[in-house]
Chains A and B, each alone.
Chain A
Amino acid sequence: MSDNQVMEKEPSNFTLIFSMVLAGLISGVAIIGVYNATLEAILANKAHDLQQAVFRVLPGVSKMQKLRFEHDKLNIVTDTLADENVIYAGYDSAGKLIGYAIPNEGPGFQDTISLLYGYMPDKRKMVGNEILDSRETPGLGDKIFKDLDFVANFKDLSVDPTIVAVKKGKKAKPNEIDAITGATISSKAVVRIMNLARERWEKRLPPPGGEPELKAN
């Protein structure tokens, strides 16, 4: 066994640089390997989660398709990219449009909150909401998705003129929601993200009768 205490000749700079470069290369190859090996499963998980979320925020939906607002109209797309110009249209089993699932994200109390809400344009009502990603305080801010009373706020909510968060128990109008006691900032952040998305999509959604058809697949 070699003795660690006895120093051999000082290695040359080349040896040091070479060993670092070699380690970096091997590490890079290993990381690319695991990235490629897991990419498919990761994308499938994300697509599955999103699809489940669309079905949850739009009750009665059995089919969905992805739409992107481009060139002043909504186009049906099938890619996996998500950006602020994407929404999901939900249809019943007969192919009739029920509503849209609209994603949006914005600053929360600690980090970005990203959410998806279901909107029925004919009733001008929000019918469901799901927090897709958030890092709000456990036990307080995370009630935006754990507190069932708060989640129920969005099941039948008028969006006119805007959504307003009021103190818990003070909800009186159809466009008001009860905020969470102890997590006012998180509650208001959720409402603000929704109002911004609503403003963005107000003019973009087609008028009644002009809804995009469900593409047969």
Chain B
Amino acid sequence: MKQKELDGYQEFMKGLWKENPTFVQVLGMCPTLAVTNSAINAVVMAVATFFVLVGSSFLVSALQRWIPSQVRISLYVIIIATFVTLADYSLLATLPAVHKQLGAFIPLIVVNCIILGRAEAFASRYPVKYAVLDAAGMGAGFFLSLTMLGTVREILGTGTLFDIPLFGKGFEPWVTMILPPGGFITLGLLLLLSNWVTKKRAEFLKQVAAAQQEGL
């Protein structure tokens, strides 16, 4: 098998939109639905995931030569779990209030399939530079989608954004939005939006191409 040509910029950018882990790959749904009931929770969760994703992709890629393929998944899990523990303790020491809110979901980053997925599908096959760029892109895409969900749900569900009240006293919070059903509804609508935009964009590009051909 020939090594495919890599472009660092492309490897980073694909995670943001074209292969966005949440909206396109639909991976990591558990934290996506569970901790996006406020913007700050979503942001902290995404930053912790970003850290674990980049750290473990770096190590998996750097050590690929020495990892026996028979035990590779167990080794990936050890690497990921170590990074998660680092993130867990650092959060507990620096942001105890947010850590309390996120509860069990920080340790559960270990089983987030985006991380193991990138380690197995990308980091273990490509050089360190591209593995880190790929992980950073995926992490950034996860950050974007989680922040979008968290923002929408917090504004509708509590009438605040990052705990700053947006509306006057007359605002009646739409409590459902911060409960699990609100997570599913918001995610569904955002998936719809992202698919619609992708479709429109493809149609537009097609039209441009057709117009250019006619012009020739």
Contacts and interface: CB of A to CB of B under 8 A. Distances in A.
Contacts of A3: 1
Given A5-B1, A15-B68, A137-B179, A42 B93 contact: yes
Contacts of A82: none
A2 B68 contact: no
A45 B71 CA distance: 40
Residue picked from A19, A20, A41, most chain B C-beta under 10 Å: A19
B213 interface: no
Interface string A118-158: 00000000000000010101111000000000000000000
Contacts of A139: 157, 173, 175, 178-179
B98 interface: no
B90 interface: yes
Interface string A191-209: 0000000000000000000
Given A31-B82, A34-B89, A49-B96, A19 B179 contact: no
A11 B78 contact: no
A1 interface: yes
B148 interface: no
A137 B100 CA distance: 14
A2 B126 CA distance: 10
Interface string B94-123: 101000100100000000000000000000
Interface in B143-192: 157, 173, 175, 178-179
B101 to A, nearest CB: 9
A27 B78 contact: yes
Given A1-B3, A41-B94, A133-B100, A19 B175 contact: no
Given A27-B78, A41-B94, A139-B179, A35 B68 contact: no
**Interface residues on chain B, size class:** 20 to 34
A206 B88 CA distance: 42
B74 interface: yes
Residue picked from A1, A3, A139, most chain B C-beta under 10 Å: A139
Contact of B86 (A1, A19, A20, A34): A34
A93 interface: no
A140 B173 CA distance: 12
B26 interface: no
A20 B74 CA distance: 8
B89 A35 contact: yes
**Interface residues on chain A, size class:** 20 to 34
A27 B179 contact: no
A15 B81 CA distance: 22
Contacts of B74: 20
Interface of A: 1-5, 11, 15-16, 19-20, 23-24, 26-27, 30-31, 34-35, 37-38, 41-42, 45-46, 49, 133, 135, 137-140
16 contacts: A2-B65, A3-B1, A4-B1, A4-B125, A16-B68, A20-B74, A23-B75, A30-B85, A31-B85, A34-B85, A34-B90, A35-B89, A42-B89, A42-B96, A138-B178, A139-B173
9 smallest beta-carbon distances between A and B, as pairs? A38-B93, A41-B93, A139-B175, A27-B82, A38-B89, A23-B78, A45-B96, A11-B68, A34-B89
Interface of B: 1, 3, 37, 65-68, 70-71, 74-75, 78-79, 81-82, 85-86, 89-90, 92-94, 96, 100, 103, 125, 127, 157, 173, 175, 178-179
Given A4-B125, A138-B37, 13 more contacts: A5-B1, A16-B68, A20-B71, A23-B78, A31-B86, A34-B85, A34-B86, A42-B92, A45-B96, A46-B96, A49-B96, A137-B179, A138-B179
